[in-house]
């Protein structure tokens, strides 16, 4: 069987920076960052399974983060022996797991709220953040199962961006997000069941800038508390008034932090 390969964009020149996007997005979310860095960095922005120009997840088994890492094989090769790694949300969770497996290849790690929900499940699934994100997983998945992709999109967007965000989203964008909800349903399994222990990240001695939105939901904030307590070389930066989708909604301050991380 032919191995699936990720599509990616490569722009600029200089040391390589690999960027991994959030759920229901694509490599296109990094355009503003690419423009900011292109004069001094080679930015490689990848499409994860089911987004942009990458193939859909079509296997009859649950998706894992390891599957996404294997899809990205041509991206890791393109980036060279050592590179900086940037990730947002689902992409940041993938970045963390890759960096832990291949620390010798990563110069620096910049994370915007990795949704490694497995950390909450390992710590205490009955805590408020765990109950809240489990409810969102269940309600969005149930909507997908009954064919209500727009309903799933509304629940998903309003959780991550705040109540009323779906209604305020342009119709064409709502339609596009709805088409990604089956893939998002597969991603829930990947982020809830990732087997890597919280303690394992204590081995990740890579300079890490961990960005947290001051207006983000409880689940990514709780993951940040758990991971930042064990990451040995982490700097946590909270961005007041910015939510979970900060790299998209507030690219200027977020990209300034990413650039500062790369130049540190």
Q: What is the phi-psi region of residue 96: left when phi exceeds 0, alpha when psi lies from -120 to 50, beta otherwise?
A: alpha
69-79 mean pLDDT: 98
- Give the model confidence (pLDDT) of 10-54 as tens digits: 999 999 999 999 999 999 999 999 999 999 999 999 999 999 999
Residue of 173, 198, 36, 63 lying closest to 119 (CA atoms): 198
In this prediction, residue 253 has a pLDDT band, given cuts at 50, 70 and 90, of: very high
- pLDDT tens-digit readout, 154-198: 999 999 999 999 999 999 999 999 999 999 999 999 999 999 999
Residue 82 has pLDDT above 80, yes or no: yes
Nearest C-alpha neighbor of 154 from the set 188, 183, 178, 187 = 178
Residue-wise pLDDT for 107-147, tens only, equals 999 999 999 999 999 999 999 999 999 999 999 999 999 99
- Residue 228: per-residue pLDDT: 97
Contact 71, 2 (CB under 8 A): no
Summarize pLDDT for 231-250 with one digit per residue, the tens: 999 999 999 999 999 999 99
- Residue 1's pLDDT is 43
Q: Is residue 2 over pLDDT 70?
A: no
Span 207-229, pLDDT tens digits? 999 999 999 999 999 999 999 99
Tell if the pTM clears 0.85, that is, is over it.
yes
Residue in the structure block whose two tokens are 């490689």: 44
* Alpha-carbon dihedral 219, 225, 226, 231, rounded to 10 degrees: 130
Could you tell me what percent of the chain has a pLDDT over 70? Answer: 99
- pLDDT at position 3 is 81
The pLDDT of residue 28 is 97
Token pair, residue 159, equals 């959780």
């Amino acid at each position: 069987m032919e191995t699936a390969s990720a599509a990616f964009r490569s722009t600029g020149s200089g040391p390589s920076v690999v960027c991994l996007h959030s759920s229901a997005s694509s490599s296109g979310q990094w355009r503003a960052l690419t423009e900011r860095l292109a004069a001094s960095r080679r930015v490689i922005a990848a499409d994860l399974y089911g987004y942009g120009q990458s193939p859909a997840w079509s296997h009859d088994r649950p998706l894992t983060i390891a599957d996404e890492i294997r899809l990205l094989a041509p991206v890791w090769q393109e980036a060279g022996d050592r590179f900086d790694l940037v990730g947002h949300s689902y992409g940041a969770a993938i970045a963390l797991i890759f960096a832990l497996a291949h620390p010798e290849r990563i110069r620096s790690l910049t994370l915007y709220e990795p949704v490694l929900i497995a950390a909450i499940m390992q710590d205490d699934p009955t805590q408020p953040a765990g109950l809240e994100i489990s409810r969102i997983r269940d309600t969005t998945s149930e909507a997908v199962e009954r064919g209500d992709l727009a309903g799933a999109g509304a629940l998903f967007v309003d959780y991550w961006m705040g109540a009323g965000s779906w209604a305020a989203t342009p119709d064409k964008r709502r339609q596009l997000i709805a088409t990604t909800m089956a893939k998002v349903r597969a991603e829930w399994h990947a982020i809830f069941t990732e087997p890597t222990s919280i303690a394992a990240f204590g081995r990740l001695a890579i300079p890490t800038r961990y960005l947290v939105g001051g207006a983000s939901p409880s689940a990514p904030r709780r993951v940040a508390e758990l991971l930042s307590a064990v990451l040995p070389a982490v700097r946590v930066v909270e961005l007041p008034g910015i939510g979970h989708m900060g790299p998209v909604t507030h690219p200027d301050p977020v990209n300034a932090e990413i650039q500062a991380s790369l130049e540190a």
